Structure 1
Amino acid sequence: MIAYVSGTCVFKEEDAVIIDVNGLGYQVFCPTTHSILVNHNITLHTYYYVREDAILLYGFESREDLNLFNRLITVKGVGPRVALGIMKKVPSSDLVNAIEAGNHTYLKTMPGVGPKMASQIVLDLKGKLVSASSNAPVSKFDGLFEDVAVALGDLGFKRGEINSIKTQLHESRATDINTLIKQALKLLAR
């Protein structure tokens, strides 16, 4: 396994860079290459991918991005190419927030992600990314929503139903639990 590649960037494409390490050029696929400068030293944390017809390196400027990539590819149907496409389109923090909020609509806008895959990503990764990322803040709303979810669960609603209205509740900007529960009941009654 190759944990990282450190050397001079000698060539840059839209989705990959070539890094010279002691005379050996490694092609590394990256979600973003705009911050990487040609003829400058760089270190990329890598995921080493082997398949029947190719050996590929996927590189990330931070360990946190590599960890997010590793989590994404554990989801059924999400391979390295789809995960890289997702991470290329949005900042990692936005992606984590969308998954934690259960925002299927947002996830469906990612390349290669349809309704089923968006649901699978949320199902498999929700709650796992915040603990994996020490920098991911838990908002006040998330704490309130958990209280609302417990109350609604006690009333007999299933967690999937409750999670489906999280974005709508967040958009209401309500800041007290009683208002959130009333709004949730109205949304779930539809």
Structure 2
Amino acid sequence: MISYVKGRLEYIGESYIIIEVNGIGYKINIPSSTIEKLPSLRSELKMFTYFYVKEDEMSLYGFLSREELTMFERLISVSGIGPKVAVGILSTISPQDLCLAVITEDIKTLSTAPGVGKKTAQRMILELKDKIDTVETLQSSVDDSRLRENNVSQEAISALIALGYSRIDGTKAVQAVFEEGMTVEEVIKAALNKLAIF
């Protein structure tokens, strides 16, 4: 119903902001990770929004990018995850990391979010795996901050791709075997062994 809200940023709270549009202030719930990315008060701001309607509640949830909004919509499609839990997850884990965690079935990472235990993490993997676009996942795995900061991981993944493996399989294998201090050759060897049993 409300795809986005564009106006002047009037207030920044702990978990929400107020944007004024033509004299009307819209309260928009946001992930806490968004707060540090906001411009200064009185600045022009555009938030992509999701209008949540329930019997006793109407709320707006806002995100700085369409990618975050899309991930939010996917999260609330999982049984047992409502908008507040979904915002909590996105406050803790970026959309890129979420994509990668779901694809690689990384329950540990998913369980770091508030309100997400082992069973919920398993349900997220089960229900989201088919909904994550392969191209998007490839991009997110390349952009993943942990791998971006680690040249050894990147080189190992590139080598596996050159050997004919897909980027997603290469990323998954490297993440599974990588440890600090390993050389590129050691990572490739261990990843190849891992790929043999996938």
TM-score by length of structure 2 reads 0.73
Change (3 A) 1:169 1:145: farther
2:29–2:60 contact (8 Å) kept in structure 1: yes
Q: Gapped runs of 5+ residues in structure 1?
A: 148-162, 186-190
**Pair 1:131-2:134 in alignment:** yes
Q: Distance in 2 between matches of 1:145 and 1:44?
A: 31
1:108–1:115 contact (8 Å) kept in structure 2: yes
Q: Gapped runs of 5+ residues in structure 2?
A: 143-153, 180-185
Query: What number of residue pairs does the alignment pair up?
Result: 167
Q: What is residue 179 of structure 1 aligned with on the other side?
A: 193
SS at match of 1:50: strand
Q: What is residue 75 of structure 1 aligned with on the other side?
A: 78
2:141–2:168 contact (8 Å) kept in structure 1: no
Single out whichever of 116-125 and 89-98 deviates more from structure 2.
Answer: 89-98
Q: What is residue 2 of structure 1 aligned with on the other side?
A: 2
SS at match of 1:14: coil
Which is helix-richer, 1 or 2?
2
Q: Distance in 1 between matches of 2:77 and 2:135?
A: 14
How much is the aligned-residue C-alpha RMSD, in angstroms? 2.8
SS at match of 1:175: helix
Deviations for 1:118-168, whole angstroms, at most 9, x for unmatched residues? 000111112532437374246847838859xxxxxxxxxxxxxxx9xx688
Change (3 A) 1:99 1:23: same
After the TM superposition, which residues 31-180 of structure 1 pair with which residues of structure 2 at under 5 Å, given as runs? 31=31, 32-36=34-38, 37-131=40-134, 133=136, 135-137=139-141, 140=157, 143=166, 146=169, 169-171=176-178, 174-176=187-189, 179-180=193-194
Structure 1 runs (4+) greater than 4 angstroms displaced: 144-147
Change (3 A) 1:48 1:144: closer
SS at match of 1:66: helix
TM-score by length of structure 1 reads 0.76
After the TM superposition, which residues 16-35 of structure 1 pair with which residues of structure 2 at under 5 Å, given as runs? 16-31=16-31, 32-35=34-37
1:103–1:167 contact (8 Å) kept in structure 2: no
Q: CA deviation at 1:62?
A: 0.6
2:19–2:27 contact (8 Å) kept in structure 1: yes
Q: Structure 1 vs Structure 2: percent identity of aligned residues?
A: 35
